[in-house]
């Protein structure tokens, strides 16, 4: 019988660990041939680079599609459907497709695309997997300020939240079949239990797996058999009444960073700047003077990690560039002045 190709949609807020999870899944995928569709903000393309460098047999470089422009959920018809159709034509023998959405994307508009006749004949959504940063939830990153909501609601009764992060995060959770509660290494175990309870209070039907570094068995994460495209009604969204959504709540920009003489000192400055300006996400590649390799730097809030990922190639300029994402109004000029 003709088998539909299963698709897994990986959602989750900025920096929750989506790329880390996917790296793990493809590394342990065995004989499955997997294609990846990756969508991220900014044109620095960090996720694509990380995933292409895996070099595992189950995921070939030609089966990785990068959709760099903005937000997948807003460009479903223009970018996403043609990309999926091209992928199916090029590699009809695929066993699985994994889609990594950007951290600000709402999964439901994307899920809806799988209900379109030309797509649903060929593929089925095995499941929507939401990756959650356990430490960010424990810190109250996605919680409304009750007083602020009450004040706003007095002026406008339709107001639901005062925290734009919460809307995105909740939409992602409410659409999920499985939550990967990641970064549990950063919390004591009683905190992990508390965070699990917080997630259940948003979505009581979802299965939750607590882990760190995205370590999850691919047989579980890629074998949910949810047929999610047939089950849109049980996945409520704050944006159900709208056609897509805007990103007015967030600002994204790129900082060009001159060559560095002391990389550790610069990362300490990044931590300080991210904390002071409440930056949500920073990532990119840096040029460290005298080093043949480029430095891959990743920040989630004020927590940073960095490593030299590969040598600069002859045909690429040694240019330090960082994508910065913050809430609307983040002080771009001050951040640029501090880092540029």
Instruction: Report the distance separating Cα 126 and Cα 330, nearest Å.
Output: 38
To the nearest 10 degrees (0 to 180), the angle between helices 189-202 and 164-174 is 80
Tokens at 206, concatenated: 């979802």
Restricting to residues 39-58, which ones interact with ligand GTP according to CB under 6 A?
40, 47
Span from 14-22, 81-89, 226-234, 259-267 in contact with ligand GTP (CB under 6 A): 14-22
Tokens at 181, concatenated: 């509660």
Check residue 14 for interaction with ligand GTP (CB under 6 A): yes
Instruction: Report the distance separating Cα 58 and Cα 190, nearest Å.
Output: 37
Residue 4 CB, nearest approach to ligand GTP (Å): 27
Q: Tell me the residue number closest to ligand GTP, measured at CB.
A: 103
Task: Tell me whether residue 257 or residue 282 sits nearer to ligand GTP (CB atom).
Answer: 282
Q: Is 263 exposed, middle or buried (0-12, 13-18, 19+ CB in 10 A)?
A: middle
Check residue 66 for interaction with ligand GTP (CB under 6 A): no
Restricting to residues 264-303, which ones interact with ligand GTP according to CB under 6 A?
281, 298, 300
Check residue 24 for interaction with ligand GTP (CB under 6 A): no
Check residue 17 for interaction with ligand GTP (CB under 6 A): yes
Task: Tell me whether residue 130 or residue 224 sits nearer to ligand GTP (CB atom).
Answer: 130
**Contact criterion met (CB below 8 Å) for 311 and 322:** no
Check residue 182 for interaction with ligand GTP (CB under 6 A): yes
Residue 200 CB, nearest approach to ligand GTP (Å): 20
Q: What is the DSSP letter of 241?
A: T
**Long-range Cβ pairs for the range 195-198 (8 Å, 24+):** 195/132, 195/134, 195/137, 195/138, 198/137
Quick note: the x/- pattern for ligand GTP over 84-103, rule CB under 6 A, is: -------------------x
Q: Which residues contact 56 (CB under 8 A, 6 or more apart)?
A: 26, 27, 29
Restricting to residues 206-245, which ones interact with ligand GTP according to CB under 6 A?
212-214
Residues at the site binding ligand GTP, with contacts judged by CB under 6 A: 12, 14-20, 40, 47, 103, 131, 182-183, 185-186, 212-214, 281, 298, 300, 305
């Amino acid at each position: 019988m003709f088998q539909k190709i299963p698709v897994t949609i990986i959602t989750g807020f900025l920096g929750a660990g989506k790329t880390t999870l996917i790296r793990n899944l493809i590394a342990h995928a065995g004989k499955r041939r997997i294609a990846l569709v990756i969508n991220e903000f900014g044109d620095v393309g960090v996720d694509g680079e990380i995933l292409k460098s895996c070099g595992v047999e189950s995921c070939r470089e030609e089966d990785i599609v990068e959709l760099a422009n903005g937000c997948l959920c807003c460009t479903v018809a223009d970018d996403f459907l043609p990309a999926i159709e091209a992928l199916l034509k090029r590699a009809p023998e695929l066993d699985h497709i994994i889609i990594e959405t950007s951290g600000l994307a709402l999964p439901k508009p994307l899920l809806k695309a799988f209900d379109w006749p030309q797509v649903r004949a060929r593929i089925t959504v095995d499941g929507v997997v939401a990756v959650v940063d356990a430490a960010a939830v424990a810190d109250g990153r996605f919680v409304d300020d009750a007083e602020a909501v009450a004040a706003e609601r007095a002026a406008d009764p339709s107001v639901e939240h005062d925290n734009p992060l919460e809307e995105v995060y909740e939409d992602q959770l409410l659409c999920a079949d499985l939550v990967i509660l990641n970064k549990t290494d950063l919390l004591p175990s009683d905190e992990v239990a508390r965070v699990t309870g917080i997630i259940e209070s948003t979505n009581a039907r979802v299965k939750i797996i607590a882990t760190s570094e995205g370590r999850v068995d691919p047989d579980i994460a890629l074998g949910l058999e949810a047929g999610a495209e047939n089950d849109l009604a049980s996945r409520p969204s704050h944006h159900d009444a709208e056609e897509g959504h805007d990103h007015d709540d967030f600002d994204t920009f790129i900082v060009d960073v001159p060559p560095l003489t002391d990389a550790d000192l610069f990362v300490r400055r990044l931590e300080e700047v991210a904390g002071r300006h409440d930056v949500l996400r920073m990532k990119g590649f840096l040029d460290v003077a005298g080093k043949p390799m480029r430095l891959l730097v990743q920040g989630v809030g004020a927590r940073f990690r960095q490593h030299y990922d590969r040598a600069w190639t002859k045909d690429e300029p040694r240019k330090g560039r960082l994508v910065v994402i913050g809430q609307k109004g983040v002080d771009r000029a001050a951040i640029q002045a501090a880092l540029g």
